[in-house]
A and B are shown apart, each in its own frame.
Chain A
Amino acid sequence: MLRSWTLAALLAAGPAAAQTVTVEAGPDAQERLQTALIEAKPGSIIWIGAGRFELTDGLSLDVDRVTVRGAGPDQTVLSFKGQLGAGEGLLVTSDDVVLRGFAVEDSKGDGIKSKGADRIVYKDIRVEWTGGPKQTNGAYGVYPVSSTTILIDGVEVKGASDAGIYVGQSEQIVVRNSRVSGNVAGIEIENSRHADVFGNLATGNTGGILVFDMPSLPKMGGGEVRVFENRVIDNNQANFAPKGNIVATVPPGTGVLIMANDNVHVMRNELSGNATANVMITAYRQSYDDPKFKPVPTRIMVAGNKHGRAGYAPGFPGGDQVAAALGGMIPPVLWDGSGDPATLRVRDGVPVLSMGLQQGAPIETAKPAPVELNGAEAPIPATVVLPAAMEAAAK
């Protein structure tokens, strides 16, 4: 007993300086990797070697200022095919964490979740369900939630049964240079404020880029979002989200969808091949019981986007009839008709179709008609500026 105590005392007195730990692929990967994550000190770098890591349980990190870095998103693969427990592949609950250069495959629940993890950087990360789009895939690929200051840069997500990149109930968000395909929602910014979503490619999802606000959540009142210079192409994947989830209601063929938010600017994007609409603006249309929730969109600005073909096979109930009545195609910008048009503005040089729906009314009561949205121009939200250390970590 005496000897172990002396040793423990010596270890405890050792330098608390930054340390680098390397974990290589091989047997007992679960225990070795999880031990490294637990024993990390603030400032530690955990290098994960190239190869496949076959994991049986979710991994987690709860130490501030740790960098977890692999040999590249195609070189270092954390495979959760044999996962027996935990709701995600990797869970981060500490601040100032950098995740870089590795892949998470086939997790049973979400891919990588970070909760209450401020100033997190996701760089060159791949999350994929390798069996293609399936209802049995996990919900979210990259899932930062309840956090302040988030950078998602150069990330790729394929196959999420909800959203590939999902940012929820957070503030100060940048999602850039990322690729999302084969997900129900490509990128989703939900119940969040101050987000810049730019330079991304969303293709082959049910919906490309979604900006949502939902009731009965601790953080509501989403808004101050810029969606700009993205390519949102051919998002016509059949919706494979399990019923009950809000994204299960997204019609296939949706490019950018704004639901119940305030001051969202959709600018200079390349939008084409989305069979329902390139841009959709709607209220939250489900029943809810939350007096604090604002279900209608306000101050939605759509300007300077380049529109390719869209609206040729509208994926909502009765869409084919509406298209037929309008000569086979509906306009590329669709508004459900709820909310005050004086706060909505579309300046893309393309027609807009209103569904003429009252807030809360079923889609069967739609009275589709062309509309001009010439509402007052709202100030463009300020650029989200990240701390220099986060930008440096993503260099």
Chain B
Amino acid sequence: MTNSLKNTYFVRPLKWAGVLSLSIVVVGCSEEQANTTEDAIEETISIEGRTTVTYWHNHTGRGLEAIEQVASDFNDSQEDVFVQPIYSASTEGDDQRLLTAIAGGNPPDLAHFDRFKVAQYAAENSLEPLTPFIEEENYDMDIYYDYAVDETTYEEDIYAMPLTTDSRLLFYNKDRFKEVGLDPNDPPQTIKELEHAIDKLSTIEDGRVMELGMVPWTAQGWFYTWGWAFGGDFYDMETGELTVDDPKNIEALEWLVSIADTYDAATVTSFDTAQGSNEMDPFIQGIYSMKVDGPFSISTINQYNPDLNYGVTPVPTPTGDHFTTWSGGTSLIIPKGAKNAKEAWEFMKYLGGEEGQRTYSELNNQMSVIDTVNEEIYGDNEIMKEFIDILPESNARPPIPSGQLLWNELDRAVEYAIHGRGEPRALLEKVARKVAEAEK
């Protein structure tokens, strides 16, 4: 009797307390461990006789594996330089940690960087020019796609080593094409054919949109995409003049407005407000039958709807030829104030060269800025091949200090135009004025 009492009222709680405290200890330990490894990563590793190059990147998952592989390959081949990759979170738009590190005079030796922002940082005198290294060693920048080098150039100096790239194509749902009587092996090539396809692929019942052929300004249908497709241009590399209000650009915007008027901009855009979430992509859901997107969306399709029967084709143009696209991508920079610029350049050459690019691109599923590397990795992939085949015709966004402002203002102009808050010509002229003003 007493024994069983003891067991129920005394021992059992003790057991629980034991389990609880044990689990607390375990959790505590693992937390401590996590903290120490994190600290260790932030602390500079020093190896006798070698200079440590600190390298900030924002890669996780497969990307992290790629970075670590490339760094360790390089380190194995070296006796003087040791590259230490350090994770530093950043997003497409903001790189605040790097920004404050440069402003505070304590930057890393190397950083992964969106090529789009090179001119802006260079204009602020925050990047180390690479031109002296390139000239001294006669490093061949011609191995890269022209547009990629254009984007790293500011006032005749090169400020970044291009690493990755992308391009934009029209994705189309082959099954939907068959359903409505369009030839899935003959996707639209001209703007007229595209309009026809959008019309056939859209189902509107009692004023409610059930399915849409395409909403041209969603996904990667930025104004750059359509401006270049219509044969327009945004910048004259020779004179350094902005040509935002190019008549062809105005035509492109007028076309977007005509689609918005036909299908009601608010209604069709609202389907796409869940852009941030992958499985809600209307193309994957089968609500949109076409979209303009980049190679980065392929893995999303494979993950959420691997059975989707789709194809890719160049973005249609008014004439059905002179297909074009545009590309962004990442690069490596040496921030102003870096302590080991010379050693950082050694690693840049490695990662920027064929061997480094092959390892990095393959592990990280990225398109390289070297055509032979792309051919080798993606040559026999039907869809990826389309993405690399168009690269020689690709464009870079204008490498100007106000690149971000220009991007935002173009996006704004499209939205104002499709929501009926201004005329295409006036809107683009305003963008041109505003950006020219900021460039002064």
Q: Do the two chains belong together in a single complex?
A: no
Which residues does A use to contact B, with CB under 8 Å? none
